[in-house]
């Protein structure tokens, strides 16, 4: 009953602990209201207006949302972003898991050092990563093609060939895999050792242990990172923008293949000053992310094992 639930909630304020809890929560609540909920409401209102930040704002009803349907760049940028997400999320999860498993085998003291080293790229500004992309993946003098050349491969033109732009950016995204490594490492450390001991006594192979103990036991971490990395990839902006659209110099060498959804949204908002349309674009992305996340949650019920649960 909603009424009784509310009464129970209100009754809680008779306790000092409730006040203390809200006092501790208040920095986040205030921050969320001012920096998230407030702007979201404003953006929702703006999505029904023609607003450029310079002139009078006028109401346009659903026109911005209708325009989304007829604008070919919406489909193009959304397609680019989803393809990039499909490339980058599994790649990040696999590489992070491999690194975490390696880390879990080193001694406790050196693990701290390696954890720090793996995490350091995570704090690299994403704009710097975008610039680094152009240097590392330079088709003529880049380190990546230089490395491939050692094995006799003629590397592609990563920054100009439309077929290689997204794979290049996806590879570059592995640079900041440290946060996921730390999550997997914590999950691996929480797998009860007696499960491995029992399996060793039963003489199971490394692969069977990995497949039937490690993977199920850390599946909640997989699920968590899948959701977070997917949302992060769908909101990709900085690296692609810095590499292909960032400065007035590179902006002239834009690539359709790097037109990610948020890059297009940014163009509409801050280059063309179509803030109302950009707000509608933002809400479409919100819906897309919600739908994808809902599907992931639904599908995950079959694959995620929670101790104490049915699976």
Does 267 interact with other proteins (rule: CB under 8 A)? Answer: yes
Total residues in contact with other proteins, by rule CB under 8 A: 24
> Tokens for 258?
């790097």
Of the candidate residues 141, 193, 201, 287, the single one contacting other proteins (CB under 8 A): 141
Does 140 interact with other proteins (rule: CB under 8 A)? Answer: yes
Closest CA relative to residue 278, chosen from 59, 37, 68, 34: 68
Could you tell me if 18 and 12 are in contact, meaning their C-beta atoms sit under 8 angstroms apart? yes
Question: To the nearest whole angstrom, how small is the minimum distance from the Cβ of residue 59 to other proteins?
Answer: 15
CB closer to other proteins out of 159 and 225: 159
CB closer to other proteins out of 161 and 232: 161
Of the candidate residues 1, 23, 54, 287, the single one contacting other proteins (CB under 8 A): 54
Does 236 interact with other proteins (rule: CB under 8 A)? Answer: no
Residues in region 156-175 near other proteins by CB under 8 A: 157, 159-162
Say how many residues make up the chain: 311
Stretch that binds other proteins, among 84-92, 103-111, 171-179, 250-258 (CB under 8 A): 250-258
Contact map string, positions 98 to 137, toward other proteins, x by CB under 8 A = ------------------------------------xx--
CB closer to other proteins out of 56 and 194: 56
> Tokens for 109?
């003291």
Residue with tokens 């060498």: 253
Does 150 interact with other proteins (rule: CB under 8 A)? Answer: no
Stretch that binds other proteins, among 25-33, 122-130, 174-182, 266-274 (CB under 8 A): 266-274
The contacts of residue 297 (CB under 8 Å, 6+ apart) are: 227
Of the candidate residues 58, 205, 247, 252, the single one contacting other proteins (CB under 8 A): 252
Stretch that binds other proteins, among 13-21, 99-107, 193-201, 245-253 (CB under 8 A): 245-253
Question: To the nearest whole angstrom, how small is the minimum distance from the Cβ of residue 34 to other proteins?
Answer: 23
Question: To the nearest whole angstrom, how small is the minimum distance from the Cβ of residue 143 to other proteins?
Answer: 12
The contacts of residue 206 (CB under 8 Å, 6+ apart) are: none
Residue with tokens 């491969």: 153
Of the candidate residues 256, 290, 291, 303, the single one contacting other proteins (CB under 8 A): 256
Contact footprint for other proteins (CB under 8 A): 53-55, 134-135, 138-142, 157, 159-162, 251-256, 267, 271-272
């Amino acid at each position: 009953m909603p009424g009784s639930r509310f009464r129970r909630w209100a009754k809680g304020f008779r306790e000092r602990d409730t006040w203390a809890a809200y006092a501790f929560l208040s920095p986040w609540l205030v921050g969320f209201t001012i920096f998230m909920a407030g702007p979201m409401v404003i953006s929702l209102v703006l999505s029904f207006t023609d607003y450029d930040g310079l002139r009078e704002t006028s109401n346009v009803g659903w026109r911005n949302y209708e325009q989304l349907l007829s604008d070919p760049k919406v489909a193009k940028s959304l397609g680019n972003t989803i393809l990039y997400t499909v490339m980058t999320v599994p790649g990040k999860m696999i590489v992070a898991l491999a690194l975490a498993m390696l880390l879990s085998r080193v001694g406790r003291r050196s693990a701290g050092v390696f954890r720090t080293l793996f995490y350091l790229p995570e704090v690299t500004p994403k704009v710097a990563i975008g610039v680094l992309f152009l240097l590392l993946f330079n088709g003529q003098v880049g380190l990546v093609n230089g490395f491939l050349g050692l094995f006799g491969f003629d590397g592609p033109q990563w920054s100009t060939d439309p077929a290689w732009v997204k794979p290049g950016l996806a590879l570059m995204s592995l640079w900041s895999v440290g946060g996921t490594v730390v999550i997997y490492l914590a999950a691996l450390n929480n797998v009860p050792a007696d499960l491995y001991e029992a399996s060793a006594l039963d003489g199971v192979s490394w692969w069977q242990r990995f497949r039937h103990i490690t993977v199920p036991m850390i599946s909640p971490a997989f699920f968590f990172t899948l959701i977070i990395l997917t949302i992060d990839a769908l909101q990709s902006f900085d690296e692609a923008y810095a590499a292909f659209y960032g400065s007035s110099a590179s902006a002239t060498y834009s690539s359709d293949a790097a037109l990610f959804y948020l890059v297009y949204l940014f163009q509409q908002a801050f280059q063309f000053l179509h803030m109302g349309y950009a707000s509608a674009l933002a809400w479409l992305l919100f819906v897309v992310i919600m739908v994808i996340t809902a599907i992931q949650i639904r599908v995950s019920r079959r694959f995620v094992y929670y101790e104490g649960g049915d699976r």
